[in-house]
Structure 1
Amino acid sequence: MYFRTFFDEKLAQYSYMVGCQRTGEAIVIDPARHIAPYEETAKKEGFRLTAAAETHIHADFVSGAHQMAKDHGSKVFLSDEGDEDWKYKYIDGIDAQLVKDGDAFKVGNIEFKVMHTPGHTPEHISFVLTDKGGGSHIPMGIFTGDFVFVGDVGRPDLLEKAAGVKDTANTGAIQMFHSLKKFKELPDHLVVWPGHGAGSACGKALGAVPMSTAGYEKQTNWALQHTEEDAFVKELLADQPEPPKYFAMMKKVNKEGPSILTRETVPVIASVHELEKLAADENTFVIDTRPAVEFANGHIEGTINMPYTKIFTNWAGWLTDYDQSIVIIAPEYNRKEIQQSLESIGLDRIVAFADTEVIAQSTVLETYKNIDVNGLKEQLDSDDVYVIDIRQDKEWNEGHIPGAHHHMLGYLKEELHNIPKDKKIIVHCQSGARSAIGTSYLQAAGFKQIENMAPGFAGWQQ
């Protein structure tokens, strides 16, 4: 048996390729939208991508199962659990098999047994792998998707908070409690291959270790220590992070069927006047991916600063409207990677790139000032200053600067009317990365008296 793990650090998402070396067939579990890494690996190792399988309708990234079915004729194994609201709508025209609890299928000589594990979502399933081609009748491991993570379990409140499906969080938490009873019956030796790691918003305490065992999770995972349903439900629902707004769109896209990607060339803007015109267009979202310090020292008015780091994809999903055209300011060497990051969450409307050097052609660049903790203290008691803490609720509740106002970064658009334009705005987060994004967003929205307290709340505490 061949096995390989793939990890998207910007989404903290794991996918897995399993191949039968005797037959040359391979399956990808929970494939990411861009399937080139699987294609390259299959070609190198001598496999055909004959199948893909989904543990559930994903909320945090666009699935690549549809792309594999179209490009390679891969057979797609999808959940047939849950009610009508949780049925896949794109199976006509592709080779798809709907599976339920207790079903089994093979890829070559490798068996996958389906286990219904609702809680994170009603239709969620897991796959127990047995390498029968290697002569084993004992299962080796389980692909748990967003059911059991290393040190945590999938959150059940996404449907209610992100997709607006009322009264589902408590029901999902109860389902999770009963699904975990099934997990506790699994053999201790079983390897656990989760769908996400630390940094994902699909749980609240995910570990950074890429895999675990059923026995270890039974001993150490907080969720598996509970024996009383009510206490479990209460703890599971407490302190879950805010779900990114784009999660609702991902559910819709993955349920109805992601569009098939093509390799059309995106035009490159060479004129600063054209770039400035696009930045002034309310139907266009211009993202400047330069480091925050460079952006602060000079940028096109109306552009949003999102440095291309590990948090780029998440905040692009939070702040970009799906009906807006997107222009990216970035050097040539990482444009392809940026495009793929945006497409991984369905932000496909990239109409142009612009080189960072174009910015220097402008004669009317905007700037903002980065200040330190002392710079904030000097202004904190002024009635003409409005301090914004853009961290998440949990961070705010654990401690904040006296006199600050809480406006979480992802909800800035909805809260602009609550922020005074006749005062100087000082923005901060925990360490400066998110506040740089927030400062640029507010400045583009018309808050021109603005500063960024770059050391953040961590600097304040020190």
Structure 2
Amino acid sequence: MLLERIYDEDLAQASYLIGCQANGEAIVVDARRDIEVYRKIAAANGMKIVAVTETHIHADYLSGTRELAAATGAKVYVSGEGGKDWQYGFAGERLLDGDTITLGNITVEAMHTPGHTPEHLSFLITDGAFSDQPGFMLSGDFVFSGDLGRPDLLDEAAGGVDTRFDGARDLFVSLQKKFLTLPDYVQVYPGHGAGSACGKALGAIPSTTVGYERSFAWWGVYLEADDEAGFVEALLDGQPDAHAYFGRMKRQNRQGPAVMGERAALAELATEDVAAALAADEIGIVDTRHHSQVHAGTVAGALNIPAGKRAASYGAWAVDPETDKRPLVLLAPDSESATEMWDHLVRVGIDAVAGYVRTLDGLPSYRPETLAPADLAGFDAALLLDVRSKSEHAAGHIPGSVQLNAGRVLWHADSLPADGVIVSYCQTGARNSVAASALRRAGHRVVELEGSYAGWNSWNGRNTQNP
């Protein structure tokens, strides 16, 4: 049996390719939309992807299940659990608790494990060439290394009202009647790692075991004592901010994400053509450089979405493709870099990318406004905006600031002043630059605090010690 974990550092998301080496058939679970990685792994191992499935209707990324099926001819399987309100809107065989998929010597058994979402499935994997009992579990957003999937995203991102309590109770039952009935030796492969907003304390370890979680996970004491009320309270306390784009992901993943098909290489565009399109407000520019370079000069109206391991996350904070249909032009040093950036963006449904430019020369220039910490006290701001998380703000913030996570600012315009200047900050500047550029594009005047909270804290400490 082949079991390959494909991990996306950007979204802290894991997908899996499981293949039978005897007959060359493989299944992919929880695929992302840039699918070439799965095709390469299958080809390198002489396998054909014949099935694709997913653990649940995802909120943090756009599923690649339909994309991969269209490219390979694989059969689609999705959950049929959760009741009528949680049925998928696209074709695929529905899996119920106990249903199986067979690939040569391998059996994939669906286990209904509600709590994170009502329809959630985990998958038990049996390598029939070795044993007649499951040895592996793909737990999706049910059990993580050291934590559990949060049960409040339906409230936070899908318009639910107080569903978190039923979800938390469902998780308690799923642990009690499903997870803890498995042998200790079963290896558990979760759908996310540290950094994901799908839980509050996910471990960075790529896998765990039933026995390890049973013995050491925080929730074990509540299960051992059969303390459902204590479990619910502990689980719901301190969950991180849910990003606003999660609602879009939920809707699109349930309906069925658009199939892109083979994407042609991005074309390098002439700056004079880009300048004309900008003047006509037909496109948007994405400046993919570090925020320190952006602050030295960028393009008027440009979004700062730094290239690298957080490009999808930052892109989803700054672009709402449901309301802004203008295609994007990327600033990138070469075609390979531009394509890699595009791969990250399509993971969150930002598909409309018209091409790239290597330079901003010849485009309308702009230098983002910044403010030194020493000048903050005397500055006439309509709002001092802290775009960090709730927990960061609670741990220490600039007096008078209002917290609104960078992943939510575009979707909470009613919380922002219609007139006047917004002074914004994060911890060191990267998230703030993303949020500030998005707000500027939406028409707000935003001044970024130099060095953000870390810079202010350092200045304030020196100023306090040496009045």
Aligned-pair distance for 1:158? Answer: 1.0
Supply the distance in 1 between the matched residues of 2:255 and 2:236 (Cα, whole angstroms).
28
Letter in 1 for 2:167: G
Matches within 5 A, 1:36-435: 36-91=36-91, 96-134=92-130, 136-181=131-176, 182-226=178-222, 227-262=226-261, 263-272=263-272, 274-275=274-275, 277-278=277-278, 281=281, 284-323=283-322, 324-327=325-328, 328-332=330-334, 333-350=336-353, 352-357=354-359, 359-362=360-363, 364-368=364-368, 375-376=372-373, 378-382=374-378, 384-385=380-381, 386-413=383-410, 414-415=412-413, 418-419=416-417, 421-423=419-421, 425-435=422-432
Give the CA RMSD over aligned residues. Answer: 2.3
Q: Deviations over 1:39-88 (max 9, x none)?
A: 11111111111112211111222222212322222122221111112112
Aligned-pair distance for 1:339? Answer: 1.0
Distance change in 2, residues 1:117/1:441 (3 Å): same
Supply the distance in 1 between the matched residues of 2:196 and 2:272 (Cα, whole angstroms).
37
Supply the distance in 2 between the matched residues of 1:331 and 1:436 (Cα, whole angstroms).
20
CA contact (8 A) 1:431 1:459 kept: no
Structure 2 residue aligned with 1:3: 3
Aligned partner of 1:441 among 431, 438, 441: 438
Supply the distance in 1 between the matched residues of 2:414 and 2:286 (Cα, whole angstroms).
19
CA contact (8 A) 1:289 1:330 kept: yes
Supply the distance in 1 between the matched residues of 2:20 and 2:391 (Cα, whole angstroms).
46
Supply the distance in 1 between the matched residues of 2:456 and 2:211 (Cα, whole angstroms).
41
The alignment partner of 1:112 has SS state of: strand
TM-score w.r.t. the length of structure 1 is 0.90
Distance change in 2, residues 1:131/1:334 (3 Å): same
Letter in 1 for 2:162: D
TM-score w.r.t. the length of structure 2 is 0.89
Aligned-pair distance for 1:369? Answer: 5.4
CA contact (8 A) 1:33 1:65 kept: yes
Distance change in 2, residues 1:71/1:330 (3 Å): same
Letter in 1 for 2:68: M
Distance change in 2, residues 1:87/1:405 (3 Å): closer
Structure 1 residue aligned with 2:464: none
Distance change in 2, residues 1:186/1:384 (3 Å): same
Supply the distance in 1 between the matched residues of 2:196 and 2:446 (Cα, whole angstroms).
34
Distance change in 2, residues 1:290/1:276 (3 Å): farther
Q: Deviations over 1:146-183 (max 9, x none)?
A: 10001111111111111112231111111111111121
The alignment partner of 1:360 has SS state of: coil
The alignment partner of 2:11 has SS state of: coil
Supply the distance in 2 between the matched residues of 1:442 and 1:60 (Cα, whole angstroms).
22
Structure 1 residue aligned with 2:29: 29
Distance change in 2, residues 1:107/1:16 (3 Å): same
Question: Structure 2: which 5+ residue stretches go unaligned?
Answer: 462-467
Aligned-pair distance for 1:206? Answer: 0.7
Letter in 2 for 1:35: I
Question: Structure 1: which 5+ residue stretches go unaligned?
Answer: none
Task: Give the ranges of 4+ consecutive aligned residues of structure 1 lying more than 6 Å apart after TM superposition.
Answer: none
Q: Deviations over 1:194-229 (max 9, x none)?
A: 001111111111111111111111122212331311
Supply the distance in 2 between the matched residues of 1:3 and 1:365 (Cα, whole angstroms).
50
CA contact (8 A) 2:122 2:137 kept: yes
Aligned-pair distance for 1:265? Answer: 4.6
Supply the distance in 1 between the matched residues of 2:215 and 2:112 (Cα, whole angstroms).
23
Supply the distance in 2 between the matched residues of 1:444 and 1:67 (Cα, whole angstroms).
31
Percent sequence identity is: 39
Aligned-pair distance for 1:276? Answer: 6.5
The alignment partner of 1:410 has SS state of: coil
Supply the distance in 2 between the matched residues of 1:67 and 1:291 (Cα, whole angstroms).
32
Aligned-pair distance for 1:130? Answer: 1.2
Q: Deviations over 1:304-350 (max 9, x none)?
A: 11111322211211221223223122222311111111111111122
The alignment partner of 2:78 has SS state of: strand
Letter in 1 for 2:392: E
CA contact (8 A) 1:279 1:301 kept: no
Supply the distance in 1 between the matched residues of 2:317 and 2:429 (Cα, whole angstroms).
18
Distance change in 2, residues 1:383/1:71 (3 Å): closer
Letter in 2 for 1:108: G
Letter in 1 for 2:361: A
Tell me how many residue pairs correspond in the alignment.
448
Distance change in 2, residues 1:361/1:245 (3 Å): same
Letter in 2 for 1:379: D
Distance change in 2, residues 1:438/1:98 (3 Å): closer
Aligned-pair distance for 1:438? Answer: 2.6
Supply the distance in 2 between the matched residues of 1:111 and 1:229 (Cα, whole angstroms).
33
Supply the distance in 2 between the matched residues of 1:447 and 1:246 (Cα, whole angstroms).
20
CA contact (8 A) 1:59 1:251 kept: yes
Supply the distance in 1 between the matched residues of 2:45 and 2:439 (Cα, whole angstroms).
50
CA contact (8 A) 1:370 1:454 kept: no
The alignment partner of 2:28 has SS state of: strand
Letter in 2 for 1:415: A
Distance change in 2, residues 1:73/1:310 (3 Å): same
